[in-house]
Amino acid sequence: MTEALGRQPEVAVLSDAMTRVVQSLRRIMKSIYFVDPAHSDTALAEAAETLAASIESAGTMKLRQTQTERHTRNPLSGSLNPMAPPVSFEYHADKVVSHVNFHEGYQGLPSCVHGGYVAALLDEVLGRTRHLTARNCVTGSLAVTYRKPTPLNTDLVVEARIVELFDRKMRVTGEITHDGVVTASAEAIFVFLDVEKFNALVSKARDASR
């Protein structure tokens, strides 16, 4: 259940066809923002319904999947999840650096990333510092400070670093910047779990979601 120290976690490789599917679905999520709510196009609706049925019929996998497969489903970074914005991660000896770009589908205030996505992004990147410890963990607390609006359609950089490391938890800080200016920062506590406790926690959630 753990990754090697400082290494990027292994992720299942998408086929060329599924890469194209996800790219197209991301285009849809961006484009639909500009469609008039009153727009009436039966052919468009039928095409969307046909696409949905095709994807449903291709769904041969169960909820329980391997770790490398689950990484592709992540709502913030999954290569097979069209909800996830284009994002990359760099693992250094003392920090994790991420680059991301949000389109209009993530808008809160005009031209700004919704605050909920800002918080989720910080949780995701700060949480990835666990790969620098090669241990499993869960978020114990996350405190986000919104300093400036985080803009859409531009390159954002997120940095996260471990500032205190204990036997059972670690304290991590990080921030989102645009052109060198901090738009949001966070401090989090992540609680380490051994494999048995981690699996038990996941099993309870899995049972509840059936």
Assess if residue 92 is contained within a domain.
Answer: yes
Beta-strand ranges (E) seen in the chain are 87-91, 96-100, 136-146, 156-165, 169-178, 181-193
Here the CATH number for the domain that contains residue 92 is 3.10.129.10
- For 125, how many CA atoms within 13 A lie in the half-sphere containing its CB? 32
Q: What is the DSSP letter of 38?
A: T
| pLDDT for residue 99 | 98
State how many domains the chain has.
Answer: 1
Q: Is residue 9 part of a domain?
A: no
CA dihedral sign of residues 53, 74, 68, 21: positive
122, 184 contact by CB (below 8 A): yes
* Rounded distance between C-alpha atoms, residue 33 and residue 29, angstroms: 7
What local confidence, expressed as pLDDT, does residue 6 receive?
52
Place of tokens 């700060």: 126
- Residue 151's identity, in one-letter code, is P
pLDDT digits (tens, 9 = 90+) for 34-48: 999 999 999 999 999
Give the DSSP H or E segment for 31: helix 16-31
DSSP-assigned beta bridge partners for residue 20: none
pLDDT score for 202: 75
In a domain, 34, yes or no: yes
Tokens of 98: 């991420």
pLDDT digits (tens), the chain, 210 positions? 333 345 677 889 999 999 999 999 999 999 999 999 999 999 999 999 999 999 999 999 887 788 899 889 999 999 999 999 999 999 999 999 999 999 999 999 999 999 999 999 999 999 999 999 989 899 999 999 999 999 999 999 999 999 999 999 999 999 999 999 999 999 999 999 887 877 777 777 777 776
Q: Is residue 95 part of a domain?
A: yes
Q: Domain limits at 166?
A: 16-208
Q: What is the pLDDT of residue 199?
A: 75
In a domain, 72, yes or no: yes
Q: Is residue 51 part of a domain?
A: yes
Distance CA 154, CA 157 (A): 10
Q: Is residue 159 part of a domain?
A: yes
Q: In what order do the strands lie in the sheet with 96-100?
A: 87-91, 96-100, 156-165, 169-178, 181-193, 136-146
pTM summary value: 0.89
Inside any domain, residue 101: yes
